[in-house]
Structure 1
Amino acid sequence: MTEAGKRVRMAVAGLGVIARTVHLPLLRRRADLFDVVALSDLSPSRLAELGDRYGVDPARRYADAATMLAGGGYDAVLLATSGSHGELAAAALGRGLPVLCEKPLAYTVAETDRLTGSGAALMVGYMKQYDPAVAEAARLLDEIGGPAAVHAVEVTVLHAAGDQQLAFANLAPAPRDVPPAELARLREADDGLLDAAVGGDRGARTLYQILINSVSHDLSLLRLFTGAPATVDHVATWPLAPDGPAEPSVEISGRLPDGGRYGIRWLNLPDCPAYRETVTLHHARGALELVFPSPYLLNAPTTLTAVDRRGDGERRTAFRSVTEAFEQELVAFHAMVTEGARPLSGIAEGTADVRTSQQVVRRYGELTGAAIGGEAAS
């Protein structure tokens, strides 16, 4: 464990959108806590550009994340590569390195089983759990009775196209110098893991990737407020038209551990003007409503509105926070590395979200007749 209060030397694997727009700028902002000392990416041009920008020694820039892990010389690692992080997380933990792992933690439970018992700590990157508005909602929920007081949770995600969410960042076009053979190898590996997770049905695979890559954030909030879903009763995807979006919209509902109900609607709306996520916890005397902006907009306000009964009327109290959830997550990660603080979502919680996602896919197969295989079928 790094000495409490010391700067943590960070290695960053994967220099895609989330690293460029969020993680690297915030690691620089929090130079009091972190020092970026190693980078890895498949693109030589992107590696050179960001290595220069963040002052990383050319000798500590790697074309391969596994080679970077073997190189050592740092205290912790951020995994922001695409696809499953199971293999790299296992390699990092096996070297005793604390890990901040972007979702998905893994595609399969078999991968997450390899992560337990290493002795090193891992945090899954569910930054919304660290949003001050979420923390305030959890505090207010405790005051009215905790999870047992929740009558229902409603989640609606308006998922705008990625280029609209990222227009402000003026990112350079995707690099063209990634080795084709390496891309093919990674795609083949992901394909094998998807087969092991849910089988070969195209609709099931698409649904599963939406769940582990995006809806997992909403599952993490459900776990925080009420516990993981007890059942998955209904699953639907639409539109089914061949000229519709590449990814469908998704609807899921079921029972919560204390008897309440939940409903999640993830709406793929490519022409929607802006991303918006609303999470509402209904209770006997009112509601707690959280509204999140696009996660790429650093320090954009998250709003919590608490509604309750006041005499014969209604009282509405608003709480707005521009404190960046990703930054709070980094502060919590620093405490995990230097003080042994427990993360809000570690290996067990990440595994629970994989299991819930597979349960959703299994129910999808039962309702549609799709052939579900792999772990989801059991």
Structure 2
Amino acid sequence: MPVVLVGAGKVAHAAHLREVRDLPGELRLAAVVETDPRHVDALRHSGFGGVPVCGSAEEAVRAGARGALVCTPWWTHREVVAECLAAGLPVLCEKPVSLDPAEIDELTAAERRTGLPVAAGYMKRHDPVVRLFVDHCRDRLDQARRFTVDIHDPNAPHQVAHLVPYDPPPFGPQPPRAREALARALGPGSTGAQREAYARGLGGSLIHQVNLVHAALAGSGRELYGSLLHADLWAGGAGVSCRWRPDEALVVDLTHQRLPGHRRYREALEFTAEDGVATLTLPSPWARDEAATLTVESWDAGRGLAERRVHTAEPGHTGFRRQLMAWARQLSGEGDTALPGLADVRQDARAVREAALRLR
């Protein structure tokens, strides 16, 4: 399936380009839309030197593209995705597709108008071990007591320096256009600390896990939005945590900490039910030589018996890879499962936006 890559920056080099290169039977890079000369030059070092560099989605369509993989900075997504849809290209857009409910509504209208789908880059949903975890949670929602997420994230250049053929950008303040987008999304009454947390700890990271919680709760009538108990910010904004109570029996606790001194990324999700605990641990999203691990411990108090099962997947079959494979099937009309889309994006953004506005 010939596709165009829109934006050949960090996430494209650290994840998508190497997967596209290893999936010649599913995807072919027909064009790239990129204006940064450094990023264009880096394509030659990634094995894509012969791919045409275009100035627009329409030009990419003339080069043969039939789908658009959008990897531009998040604050550009509304205009980029809308341009791709107008050019006749279905889209897979990196997360967060948008943090602004008004922009999400605009894209939903464009999706309906063109009849073309916008898939959201929730790559964790495509990891088979994560899917086992979500299914486990769904099967035991009537016994659910607590859902927790704890992330230790270096969020530092060393995480991707070995994957990007140029010096990755340092962690720093949001650029002007991002600050403008955050002000629109949160409103004029929001603080700088709230906007920073919304862009990073909440919208840049925990929105993945909010999406997993929503996937587990789907169809149960339980919602995160509207059930927020509190949201906290500490360590100068490097730590953020939220607690929701979707119903009388269940609480959901999510925490993200930026810890540059930690050389390794750590992510753990735990689902506690009346009769057991399921713990999911995930490696860095950039890792290909590690895999997720799910440990399910259950017990029968009456018989005094316990059971412990461990599930893992073969390294290399990452969420990024399986997401691209699923998208390729969708583009070809062969996929039988819908990818997460704008309805998911809107549900997740409402929950994290509510949390951002409660931060003090």
- 2:258 aligns to what? 268
Cα shift readout 1:297-322 (whole Å, capped 9, x = no counterpart): 12411100001005314321100113
1:109 aligns with 2:97: no
Q: Which amino acid aligns with 1:352?
A: Q
**Aligned equivalents of 2:93, 2:342: Cα separation in 1:** 10
**Identity level (%):** 24
TM-score if structure 2 supplies the norm length? 0.86
Cα shift readout 1:341-377 (whole Å, capped 9, x = no counterpart): 453410111111111121112222xxx3xxxxxxxxx
Report SS of the residue matched to 1:314: strand
Correspondence for 1:317 among 282, 299, 309: 309
What RMSD in Å do the two structures reach over aligned CA positions?
2.3
CA contact (8 A) 1:38 1:56 kept: no
Query: Which consecutive aligned stretches of 4+ in structure 1 deviate over 4 angstroms post-superposition?
Result: 64-72
Report SS of the residue matched to 1:256: strand
Gaps of 5+ in 1: 1-7, 176-185, 241-246, 369-378
1:218 aligns with 2:206: no
Q: How far apart are residue 168 of structure 1 and its match? A: 4.0
Q: How far apart are residue 66 of structure 1 and its match? A: 5.4
Q: How far apart are residue 171 of structure 1 and its match? A: 4.1
1:21 aligns with 2:14: yes
**Aligned equivalents of 2:252, 2:102: Cα separation in 1:** 28
Change (3 A) 1:174 1:309: closer
- 2:159 aligns to what? 165
**Aligned equivalents of 2:38, 2:79: Cα separation in 1:** 25
Change (3 A) 1:65 1:304: farther
**Aligned equivalents of 1:159, 1:174: Cα separation in 2:** 17
**Aligned equivalents of 1:105, 1:163: Cα separation in 2:** 23
Q: Which amino acid aligns with 1:45?
A: R
CA contact (8 A) 1:164 1:274 kept: no
- 2:340 aligns to what? 345
1:35 aligns with 2:28: yes
**Aligned equivalents of 2:81, 2:337: Cα separation in 1:** 17
Correspondence for 2:141 among 144, 147, 155: 147
- 1:156 aligns to what? 150
1:125 aligns with 2:121: yes
CA contact (8 A) 2:327 2:339 kept: no
- 1:135 aligns to what? 131
Change (3 A) 1:170 1:346: closer
Cα shift readout 1:82-101 (whole Å, capped 9, x = no counterpart): 13211111111222211110
TM-score if structure 1 supplies the norm length? 0.83
CA contact (8 A) 1:304 1:318 kept: yes
**Aligned equivalents of 1:258, 1:31: Cα separation in 2:** 50
Report SS of the residue matched to 1:295: coil
- 2:295 aligns to what? 305
Q: How far apart are residue 114 of structure 1 and its match? A: 1.6
**Aligned equivalents of 2:39, 2:265: Cα separation in 1:** 27
Q: How far apart are residue 28 of structure 1 and its match? A: 1.1
Report SS of the residue matched to 2:14: helix
Cα shift readout 1:102-131 (whole Å, capped 9, x = no counterpart): 011113111111222131011111111111
CA contact (8 A) 1:13 1:41 kept: yes
Q: Which amino acid aligns with 1:205?
A: R
Q: How far apart are residue 139 of structure 1 and its match? A: 3.3
Report SS of the residue matched to 2:224: coil
Q: Which amino acid aligns with 1:198?
A: L
Correspondence for 2:279 among 265, 286, 289: 289
Gaps of 5+ in 2: none
**Aligned equivalents of 2:38, 2:299: Cα separation in 1:** 58
CA contact (8 A) 2:148 2:270 kept: yes
Change (3 A) 1:338 1:70: closer
Q: Which amino acid aligns with 1:41?
A: E
Change (3 A) 1:138 1:205: closer
CA contact (8 A) 2:268 2:279 kept: yes
Aligned residue pair count: 338
Q: Which amino acid aligns with 1:31?
A: P
- 2:80 aligns to what? 88
**Aligned equivalents of 2:248, 2:131: Cα separation in 1:** 21
Report SS of the residue matched to 2:231: strand
**Aligned equivalents of 1:166, 1:299: Cα separation in 2:** 14
**Aligned equivalents of 2:231, 2:242: Cα separation in 1:** 5
Cα shift readout 1:7-36 (whole Å, capped 9, x = no counterpart): x10100111221112101101111101100
1:76 aligns with 2:67: yes
